[in-house]
């Protein structure tokens, strides 16, 4: 019986590195964490990129939406969270989900909680977003758990044999019944 808690690196090692970036995820893995969590949005060309917000202001310091730029444009953007870190992480870029999958491929002991964001679901539809995410995680799918605040996107993932987790804002009788 395990007596120590398992830790999940929420957005990677986000205290010391820009959240949802390769350095943040690699640092969490280097620290020995077996579980990482990161967020996924779709770009204008419907490619999954790893970023929490659908707006670029907080992490990239730019006006505009993830939904208005291609994946090539987004992954070229610095996501250094300069308001939090100043110049410390200059040059850190926004990763695509494919980039993160490549990182995970080198660390077979790590399980990833892949959060599908509601903003992308509203913008592109559940079927499109889920399809793109599942396609991207295929090489490491057995070590991924698809999570979302949006319960309806999780059922088709479960039907395809993917581990799922429903993120709740409130744990009450209604959410228990829905689950």
Q: What single-letter DSSP state applies at residue 117? A: P
Exposure string over 118-141, b if 16+ CB within 10 A, otherwise e: ebbbebbebeebbebbbebbeebb
Told to judge if 13 belongs to the known catalytic residues of this protein, a careful annotator would answer: no
Q: Compute the CA torsion angle 148, 153, 158, 159 (nearest 10 deg).
A: -170
Supply angle C-alpha 58, 8, 151, rounded to 5.
Answer: 75
Select which of 13, 52, 89, 171 is catalytic. Answer: 52
Rg (CA), the chain: 16
Exposure string over 69-88, b if 16+ CB within 10 A, otherwise e: bebeebbebbbbbbeeeeee
Told to judge if 10 belongs to the known catalytic residues of this protein, a careful annotator would answer: yes
Select which of 10, 13, 107, 109 is catalytic. Answer: 10
CA dist., res. 65 & res. 77, Å (int):
12
CA dist., res. 75 & res. 41, Å (int):
12
Active site residues: 10, 52
């Amino acid at each position: 019986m395990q007596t120590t808690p398992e830790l999940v690196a929420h957005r990677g090692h986000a205290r010391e590195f820009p959240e949802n970036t390769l350095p943040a995820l690699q640092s969490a893995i280097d620290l020995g964490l077996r579980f990482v969590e990161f967020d996924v949005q779709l770009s204008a060309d419907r490619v999954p990129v790893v970023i929490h917000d659908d707006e670029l202001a907080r992490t990239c310091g730019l006006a505009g939406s993830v939904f208005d730029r291609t994946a090539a444009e987004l992954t070229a953007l610095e996501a250094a969270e300069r308001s939090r870190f100043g110049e410390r992480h200059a040059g850190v870029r926004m990763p695509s989900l494919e980039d993160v999958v490549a990182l995970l491929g080198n660390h077979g002991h790590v399980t990833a909680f892949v959060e599908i964001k509601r903003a992308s679901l509203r913008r592109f539809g559940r079927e499109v977003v889920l399809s793109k995410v599942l396609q991207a995680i295929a090489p490491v799918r057995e070590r991924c758990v698809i999570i979302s605040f949006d319960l309806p996107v999780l059922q088709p993932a479960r039907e395809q044999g993917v581990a799922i987790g429903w993120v709740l804002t409130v744990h009450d009788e209604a959410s228990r019944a829905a689950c």
